[in-house]
Amino acid sequence: MGSGASHGSSDEPKTIAVFGATGLLGGAVARALLKDPTNYRVRAITRKPNNDKARKLAEKGAVIVTANMNDMESLEKALDGAYAVFLTTHYWEERNKEKEIVRGLNAIDAAVKQNVKHIVLNGSESVRKLIGKECNNLDSKAAIEEYLKEVGVTYTIIRLPFWYENFYGIFRPHKIKHGVYAIPLPIEDAAIDMICVKDIGPCVVSILDSPKQYKNKTIGLSADRMTTVDMAHVFSKHIDKQFISPKIRTKDYEKFNFPEARDLAAMFELYQKNLAHRDIRLTKKLNPHVRTFDKWLERKLYKLEEVLAGDKDNEFEHQK
């Protein structure tokens, strides 16, 4: 297929290239697109074509393509003939803002060169510009977003909230004593927006279904908005333990003894000051089946109980 390849006539499925297709977010988008084979073909772009997640996508009908985001030739080949691209970049693997920006810009340049018609980007506000503090994991995405707006291709930027799935990892409820767990989010009394990653996929499909409606728009997604007191109530409703809100301050959180503390404290300060605008109503329009935190937790009890069972006494205190 040469660089002048057709994107397909209106009655043929459009090829959508999905970056990060073996990750949580890219995988959610790829699987949602695969449910509509009449309109879309999925080209799953990954560095790991032989892993289990790639094989499962292939079994569902995705074409698996290997590309390195540091290599323009492989990117151009991967995007050859694609109608649209879903682009998400990953900070946490190497924790390097500059490398993430370069990779995002490379993907955009390759898409422009291959005449891709629409880029849907996982972007972000610039935390540095809004509150004057560095937040590498979001400021990198803000820089990629700014570049995308300048290159002339049709784009839709989605800005995401806190993921429910974060409660499986670093933000899991921390055991402070027998039967008592703390919600370790530094937002004090503020409410933050939240969503299930899986529910983002259908939102992206809806955007691609209506490209004119969402052309050159920036959309903030959210399924629910809660304080840590609200979250503790929902956890206690479904799990037979006591959950509390310690109402951690960001200025205390940034002093915690782990490498990401400053970046995450800045991110939560942005949320706490209500500077990350998300739209529950629009999100429900894009995906009418988007789940509240309560409904999500109801279906994920087994996973959360496994996470809590692996916690150690007083780990939350030690982390300080």
pLDDT value of residue 320: 26
Encode pLDDT of 83-94 as tens digits: 999 999 998 888
pLDDT value of residue 92: 83
The whole-number average pLDDT for the span 140-168 is 98
User: What's the rounded Cα separation, in Å, for the pair 139 and 267?
Assistant: 10
The whole-number average pLDDT for the span 129-155 is 98
User: What's the rounded Cα separation, in Å, for the pair 320 and 247?
Assistant: 14
Q: Report residue 131's pLDDT band, with 50, 70 and 90 as the boundaries.
A: very high
User: What's the rounded Cα separation, in Å, for the pair 26 and 197?
Assistant: 9
pLDDT value of residue 7: 54
Encode pLDDT of 293-304 as tens digits: 999 999 999 999
pLDDT value of residue 285: 99
- Whether 312 has a pLDDT exceeding 60, the answer reads no
- Whether 318 has a pLDDT exceeding 50, the answer reads no
**The dihedral sign for the CA sequence 155, 12, 6, 45:** positive
pLDDT value of residue 10: 63
- What is the share, in percent, of the chain residues with pLDDT greater than 70? 94
Q: Report residue 194's pLDDT band, with 50, 70 and 90 as the boundaries.
A: very high
- Whether 319 has a pLDDT exceeding 80, the answer reads no
Q: Report residue 272's pLDDT band, with 50, 70 and 90 as the boundaries.
A: very high
The answer to whether the beta carbons of residues 283 and 290 sit under 8 Å apart is yes
Tell me the helices (H) and strands (E) count for the chain, helix number first: 14, 13
pLDDT value of residue 293: 98
Q: Up-side HSE of residue 159: CA atoms within 13 Å toward CB?
A: 22
Domains within the chain, CATH numbers bracketed:
14-159 (3.40.50.720), 166-191+223-275+291-319 (3.90.25.10)
Residue in 80, 98, 76, 79 with CA at minimum distance from that of residue 89: 98
- Whether 206 has a pLDDT exceeding 80, the answer reads yes
235 token code pair: 């956890």
Q: What average pLDDT does the structure give for the chain? A: 93
- Whether 258 has a pLDDT exceeding 90, the answer reads no
The whole-number average pLDDT for the span 105-111 is 99
Encode pLDDT of 36-68 as tens digits: 999 999 999 998 899 999 999 999 999 999 999
pLDDT value of residue 311: 66
- Whether 1 has a pLDDT exceeding 70, the answer reads no
68 token code pair: 């390195």
Instruction: Record the pTM.
Output: 0.92
**The dihedral sign for the CA sequence 248, 254, 257, 260:** positive
- What is the share, in percent, of the chain residues with pLDDT greater than 90? 89
pLDDT value of residue 4: 41
Q: Report residue 11's pLDDT band, with 50, 70 and 90 as the boundaries.
A: confident
Q: Which has the minimum average pLDDT: 123-127, 142-146, 220-224, 301-305?
A: 301-305
The whole-number average pLDDT for the span 273-300 is 98
